[in-house]
Amino acid sequence: MKNIYSLFYKNLFLTNRLFAGLGACSIFFLLSFFFPWLGVLPELFFWILIFLFIADAFLLYQTSKGVFAKRHAPERLSNGDDNELGIYIENLYPFNVDMGIIDEIPFQFQKRDIWFKTSLKPHQHKLINYLLRPTKRGEYEFGDIRVYVKSPLGLIRRRYNFSQAETLPVYPSFLQMRKYELMAISNRLTEIGIKKIRRLGHSLEFEQVKNYIAGDDYRTINWKATARRGDLMTNIYTDEKSQHVYCVIDKSRSMKMPFEGLSLLDYAINASLVLSNVALLKEDKAGLITIAEKLGSVVAADRRPVQLNKIMEVLYKEKTRYLETNMELLYSTIRNVLKQRSLVVFFTNFESMSALERQLPFLKRISRFHLLLVVFFENTELKKLSEQPAGNVEDIYIKTIAEKFAYDKKLIVKELAKHGIQSILSTPQNLTINTINRYLELKAKQKI
């Protein structure tokens, strides 16, 4: 019995309408001292309010299951993307109700305003959708769903607690990966900004012989097949396949810097996942190496169906470290793991020329055996500072320093090009599209 009363009081909440009624009742009693003709009206108003309170409580507590709620969530969330979740709500009362719904989302989002209002007719159901954007990989714990129900009288609310505790993993951006995958399959990559590359000649990987039609390259005419068939026949060539594409991710402290909630490491991880998927769709072999002061994970290049899942599981667990990258270890790892000439996409960050000079000898050695593409980040915050007008001496000093750092980034690109090393200087937001662009360009120009 005690537990029943305890549950009753814990889940009973008074509304503003009840407090307004009590306030009006108090005013009536106060006025009755100055206007005796009011008589029993204040007492009558008070007892009517008490009766309505009891009736409202009876309406809401006449059944133990007045509403039903359930969370609809995907099996995993995509890092850095808007993930859609839903709350299914159903009214089991025989009258209209107003509801306030709280979903206990993980603390990582730091949101305290997940409050949804809705009204439902008898036995009506509804699905309420909302978006969450995680900015860190890992496990996110969701709590219960709490529904506050109000009858048409609206004097009290009854709270229903639905146990919906669950833990969802946040993986690298697989939503972004699927978007580019669909574009690549349908050959519509140009629609989202990926450039169409002019081919220099054609590759030497033979595909088939077909009838010659106007516009075909006359240099590919197969004269032997033409003599046999009596019609002009031409050879068709396709892109070379099974080339090795390795994403090398720097996990040192330089990749800890955050932009729009995501660290540079997360941007590099998302871009690596998308690039690996595009490479597999192009029938190349994708591999992965992570490095900091010590060697992280190594996934040998392959194009089996399970390769992408293997890469995703490795990327899910990666974290930044707080020491400098051991470039000597990286060079020896590449020499031992990569047995043939490959495209090595090195995701790192340089904030100054001195940072590049420390790593340049090892980058030059790697580029001697492989096609090296160094991808590093443009500091968008410094760019904003350099573009702001200066109002005083301090602003001039800050603007000058910001412009110097931005200029150093451009010098790094020129220094790498001077040693025959290709590079991409990209904003974090455009990293994925710029990396895929360069991969397709290198593949079209047959540099791999």
Q: Which residues pair with 68 in a beta bridge?
A: 90
Q: Which two three-digit tokens encode residue 136?
A: 């860190």
Q: Is the pTM of this model over 0.75?
A: yes
pLDDT above 70 (res 111): yes
The two structure tokens encoding residue 202:
């054609």
Structure tokens at 371: 């096609």
Distant-in-sequence, close-in-space partners of 348: CB < 8 Å, separation ≥ 6: 250, 252, 254, 255, 325, 359, 374, 375, 376
Measured between alpha carbons, how far is 268 from 217 in angstroms, rounded to an integer? 40
The pLDDT value given to residue 159: 93
Mean of the per-residue pLDDT values of the chain: 86
95-109, 181-195, 396-410: the lowest-pLDDT one: 181-195
How do residues 190-200 score in pLDDT, each as one tens digit? 555 555 555 54
Same fold, 1-171 and 174-197+240-444: no
pLDDT of residue 39 exceeding 90:
no
CB distance 286 to 301 below 8 Å: yes
Say what the pLDDT of residue 195 is.
Answer: 53
Q: How do beta strands 244-250 and 285-291 pair? A: parallel
**Domain 174-197+240-444 class?**
alpha beta
Question: Domain spans of the chain?
Answer: 1-171, 174-197+240-444, 205-238
Of the listed ranges 70-84, 320-334, 432-446, the one predicted with least confidence: 432-446
Measured CA to CA, the distance from residue 346 to residue 432 in angstroms comes to 13
Which of the four pLDDT bands, split at 50, 70 and 90, describes residue 30?
confident
Task: Determine the straight-line distance between the first and last CA of the chain, rounded to whole angstroms.
Answer: 78
CATH superfamily, domain 1-171, is Immunoglobulins (2.60.40.10)
Residue recorded with tokens 């009558």: 44
pLDDT the model gives residue 242: 76
pLDDT tens sequence across 198-225:
554 455 555 677 787 776 776 778 888 8
Q: What percent of the chain has pLDDT over 90?
A: 52
Residues 6+ apart with CB under 8 A from 2: none
